[in-house]
Structure formats: C-alpha cells, structure tokens
Amino acid sequence: MSRPLVIEQPEGVRGIVAVPVRTAVVQPGDDFLAIVADAVRGIARRADVVAVSETALAIAQHQTMAAQSVRPSKLAYLVCRFAGPLATVNQPESLQLVIDRVGAPKVVGACVLQVLGRLVGQRGLFYRVMGPAITAIDGYTGTMPPFDRFIVLEPHEPSAFAQSLFERTSVDCAVIDANDLAPAKVLGASQNVNRDVVARALDENPAGNSDEQTPIVVLKWRGEGANPMLRSGVSP
C-alpha cells in the first residue's frame, strides 16, 4: 500500500486523503469484486469511498482487444497523424474502433469542426463531437504489461459493480476513468456517492499512470463538517 496523499483541490474537496492500494496485476476473468473487497479490508471504512480503475475492471471483464487484430483504414491513419503524441486517437488501431462505432462521416465531420474551431481559438471540438465513442477506449500505450499491446474498452455496468461492492463491504464505491492528461470521470458509482466531488478529488490521479499497480484508491474525509463525498454526509 502506498502512503496516504493529502488532496489539495478547490473549495469543497479540501480535506480528502487518498490512499492508493496495491494489488497483483488484474487478469481477464479475475473476480475483481473479490480482489477489491480483500484489498481494502482493514483500510476502508463506512464513511470512505473506494475508487477503482475502470481499466482494471474492464480487463477482468474481458473487455480488451489485441491491437494487432485491428486493421486500420486510410482514414484512421490520416486522422491519427494530427493527434497529440499521448492521445488515444494517435493510435490508428484505437481510432479505427472509434470509426467502426460511429461511422466515417461523423469522424470526418468532427475533424472539420476541430480545424475550424482552432481558427477561432476553440480547441477540443473533435472530442466534444465524438463524446463517449472516444472516452470509452483506452489506447494501448497507457496500459501496463502484459496489456501494453491491448486496447481496453469500457467496462460493463460500472454502477452495478460499485453497488455490489457496497453491498459486500458497506463502503461506497466509484468506478473511475482517471489519467495524467485529463479531468477524472466517474463512470459508475454506488447510490450514495457524490460523483462530482469524487471526480474532482481524483483529478490529480493519485493512483498514478505508470507501473504503480494501484488500481484502487481509498478516499477518506479528514476535513471539518459533513463528508462531501457522500450524499448523506456520513461522518468519519
């Protein structure tokens, strides 16, 4: 287990401490619910929130695809040339999966809007247009071995997983999409979780984005007053 990290974020989030929790490398078919429940035993309490990696959950659910099995189109190769070096769409295989989901016309239209937007000082229009079709796919360069040549898709029913963990441990849970490049997102959560607060608390990605093997972060409220991570405001 890594040392606790005090999260210094905007008003409303100050007072949250993040405790990254190390596990073995999650494999396809693993009982991820059992892995998380065992890993946080003795660490997480009723007033905490267990934040779990959407990538680890997706891998356990067999939501991966070998990059070498994807045959990128000419459009995929063309568009990825103009993406940033760390973007998912920098990889033609990942971008091809996006094209397969939404169709080539939408991708071309999003590219046109991206170019026009830059001319008037607006950035990110490509991602706004593509929406979940882009965010649902993790490129293989951001995944640790042995999955560094696998594209990871979105997990199945993340809220159902989070609620199941709550029922098993009595600790609330959120499934998180977090990295070092963009704001964190809550893909699913148990019913009592304040998603906005939990997402902001994880914007700095305390789990890390390299080989830390910490797909779990336990968030603890150490501030004054009611716990902002939970809708009921449970005290620690």
The closest of 83, 173, 180, 172 to 134, measured between CA atoms, is 83
pLDDT of residue 156: 93
Res 62 pLDDT > 80: yes
pTM of the entire structure? 0.81
Domain count, the chain: 2
59 and 163 co-located in one domain: yes
Residue that is last in its domain, among 149, 164, 192: 149
CATH of the domain at 167: 3.30.1330.100
| 174 & 142 share domain | no
Tell which wins on pLDDT, 78 or 123.
Answer: 78
55 pLDDT more than 80: yes
**Are 48 and 162 in a shared domain?**
yes
- Average pLDDT for 170-186: 83
Identify the band that residue 233 occupies on the pLDDT scale cut at 50, 70 and 90: low
Q: Domain for residue 135, yes or no? A: yes
Last residue of a domain, one of 94, 126, 149: 149
Determine the pLDDT at residue 109.
92
Average pLDDT over residues 125-153: 76
Residue 56 shares a structural domain with residue 172: yes
84 shares its domain with 126: yes
User: pLDDT > 90: what percent of the chain?
Assistant: 44
121, part of any domain: yes
What is the arithmetic mean of pLDDT over 70-81? 91
Give a yes or no: residue 179 inside a domain.
yes
pLDDT surpassing 90 at residue 106: yes
Statement to judge: residues 190 and 171 lie in one domain: yes
Mind listing the pLDDT tens digit for each residue in 126-135?
888 888 777 7
**C-alpha–C-alpha distance, residues 213 and 229, integer Å:** 24
Q: Residue 144: its pLDDT value, please?
A: 64
Q: How far apart are CA 149 and CA 118, in angstroms?
A: 32
- Confidence class for position 206, pLDDT limits 50, 70, 90: low
User: Is position 178 within any domain?
Assistant: yes
Q: Where are the alpha helices (DSSP H) in 53-153?
A: 54-60, 74-80, 92-102, 104-119, 125-130, 132-135
115, part of any domain: yes
Query: 16 with 117, same domain?
Result: no
Task: Report the chain's mean pLDDT, rounded to a whole number.
Answer: 84
Same domain, 113 and 165: no
Residue recorded with tokens 């065992």: 38
The whole-number average pLDDT for the span 141-161 is 82
Verify that 27 and 140 share a domain, yes or no: no
pLDDT at 127: 82
Residue 134 placed within a domain: yes
Higher pLDDT, 70 or 213: 70
Judgement on whether residues 59 and 159 belong to the same structural domain of the protein: yes
The pLDDT score that the predictor gives to residue 181 is: 57
Range of the domain at 111: 68-149
